[in-house]
Structure 1
Amino acid sequence: MTWQLFGEAFVTLFVIMDPPGTVPIFLVLTGAGSTAAQRQRAALVAVAVALGVIVTFALFGQVILDYLGISLPALQTAGGLLLLLVALQLLTGAMDDPGTPARGNVAMVPLGTPLLAGPGAIVATMVFVQRSDDAADYLAVAAAILAVHVLLWIFMRYSVVIIRVLRESGILLISRIAGLLLAAIAVQLVADAVRAFIEGAG
């Protein structure tokens, strides 16, 4: 195994996917009324979806984008707009109602993708795969991807402990802060995509 490539891939994906930073957003999206079992299942589903998306793009990413005629900036813009929609729901309190339809699938969208398996993680994975020359390199990248997703699951799985301390009022406060941060992430994604479009046109 190429340990240097493993280290580079692991650190890059860890920074992009940010396991500790997912905890407050995970708590908000799953809702204060969720049980520990529901949160644990949501954590498992979110990580499984993210891993599936990352692995799919690692193996067939360039082929998929070329076949559909989609550029990376276009994918980035779509992810940014989706995150912005979720951020607006958090900021306006639209997701505070336990009956909101978004609760049923938040583990898949937007948590699994595009929050965890977003454009940044997808592009980084595709780059590391393209840099791989032999089986040892591919194994190193695969191990890095798996290690980061295990950490993601650990952080979200044990975030249920935090809910006991914060309670509903604390989650409400965090939801507003998470909405603001998520909106900033979304705007940055779109801004980077626009810049890439302009540079490509130039």
Structure 2
Amino acid sequence: MTPLLTHALTVFMAFFAIMNPIANTAAFAGLTGNMDKSQQVQVATKALIITFVVIALFSVLGQMIFNLFGISLPALRITGGILVFLVGYHMLQGSASSMHSNKDGDTSKAADNNDIAISPLAVPLLAGPGTIATAMNYSTVGGIPAMLTTILVFFVLCLITFVCFIFSAKIIKAIGQNGLNIVTRLMGLILAVIGTQMLIAGINGAFHF
């Protein structure tokens, strides 16, 4: 297996776990349950376009951001590792992290007062701090090929998430609440491990072990 393919698979698993399309499908269904099919398609399309643009920008401008603020890659890996671990930890407990949820806790109010495609769907459910940190971490480790691979992989995941959103009612009915809880905990375990690995890599880079 080539290093680039290994990178692509690693990035895909990290993004898949942190975005958790199955769990976010339930959130999407809750937020758009009173809409017709065409409106749901419009909301899903807008949310995922915004999400992709945000992550792509952070992937491309990651090094520039580092230079502008004097940030080192180990610092990003340590901070990003902690963020990703915390998201995974909350998912292991069967609850959504506050970094990936609507802070008001009232989805109907959010739907009335905000464009839900932007918030809470695009930010912070899909493009939260953990997703951004993951994108910046993986796009800066191997130059332009790694950056382009990261963006392409995230684009594929956005397409997968779009399909899940469009068929949200059928997916939720098929897997049930128990299935949703199992998927959430599995994704949480994967995220916790990825966050720990990012933290280890950051500490090794900072102290040159």
For the criterion TM > 0.5, the same-fold answer is: yes
Q: Which residue of 2 aligns with 1:79?
A: 80
Q: Letter of the 2:21 partner, please give it.
A: F
- Map 1:171-190 to 2 at 5 A: 171-190=180-199
1:115 matched to 2:126: no
Structure 1 length-normalised TM: 0.65
Structure 2 length-normalised TM: 0.64
1:52 matched to 2:54: yes
Q: Aligned residues, how many?
A: 178
- Map 1:10-25 to 2 at 5 A: 11=5, 14-18=8-12, 22=16, 25=20
Deviations 1:2-21 (A, max 9, x none): xxxxx987x46632431797
Cα distance in structure 1, aligned partners of 2:65 and 2:27: 38
What is the deviation of 1:119? 3.4
Question: For 2:127, what is the secondary structure of its paired residue?
Answer: helix
Gaps of 5+ in 1: 1-6, 132-140
Contact 2:15 2:131 in 1 (8 A): no
Question: For 1:88, what is the secondary structure of its paired residue?
Answer: helix
Q: Which residue of 2 aligns with 1:3?
A: none
Sequence identity percentage: 20
What is the deviation of 1:148? 3.3
Q: Which residue of 2 aligns with 1:63?
A: 64
Cα distance in structure 1, aligned partners of 2:120 and 2:45: 12
Q: For residues 55 and 22 of structure 1, do their structure 2 counterparts lie closer, same or farther at Cα, with a shift above 3 Å needed? A: same
What is the deviation of 1:111? 3.5
Q: Letter of the 2:185 partner, please give it.
A: R
Question: For 2:192, what is the secondary structure of its paired residue?
Answer: helix
The worse-fitting range, judged by mean Cα deviation, of 14-23 and 146-155 is 14-23
Question: For 1:93, what is the secondary structure of its paired residue?
Answer: coil
Q: Letter of the 1:108 partner, please give it.
A: V
Q: Letter of the 2:95 partner, please give it.
A: A
Q: For residues 177 and 149 of structure 1, do their structure 2 counterparts lie closer, same or farther at Cα, with a shift above 3 Å needed? A: closer
- Map 1:1-202 to 2 at 5 A: 11=5, 14-18=8-12, 22=16, 25-31=20-26, 34-35=29-30, 37=32, 41=43, 45-46=47-48, 48-58=50-60, 60-95=61-96, 101=103, 105=120, 107-109=122-124, 111-113=126-128, 114-115=130-131, 117-124=134-141, 127-128=143-144, 147-159=152-164, 160=168, 162-199=171-208
Q: Which residue of 1 aligns with 2:37?
A: none
Cα distance in structure 1, aligned partners of 2:32 and 2:196: 34
Contact 1:30 1:42 in 2 (8 A): no
What is the deviation of 1:34? 2.4
Q: For residues 70 and 152 of structure 1, do their structure 2 counterparts lie closer, same or farther at Cα, with a shift above 3 Å needed? A: same
Contact 2:89 2:192 in 1 (8 A): yes
What is the CA RMSD across the aligned residues, in angstroms? 3.9
Gaps of 5+ in 2: 34-39, 108-118
Q: Letter of the 1:77 partner, please give it.
A: I
Contact 1:77 1:189 in 2 (8 A): yes
Q: Letter of the 2:159 partner, please give it.
A: I
Q: Which residue of 1 aligns with 2:113?
A: none
Cα distance in structure 1, aligned partners of 2:187 and 2:28: 18
What is the deviation of 1:37? 5.0
Deviations 1:125-167 (A, max 9, x none): 7x117x9xxxxxxxxx76x666434322221122235433212
Q: Letter of the 1:45 partner, please give it.
A: A
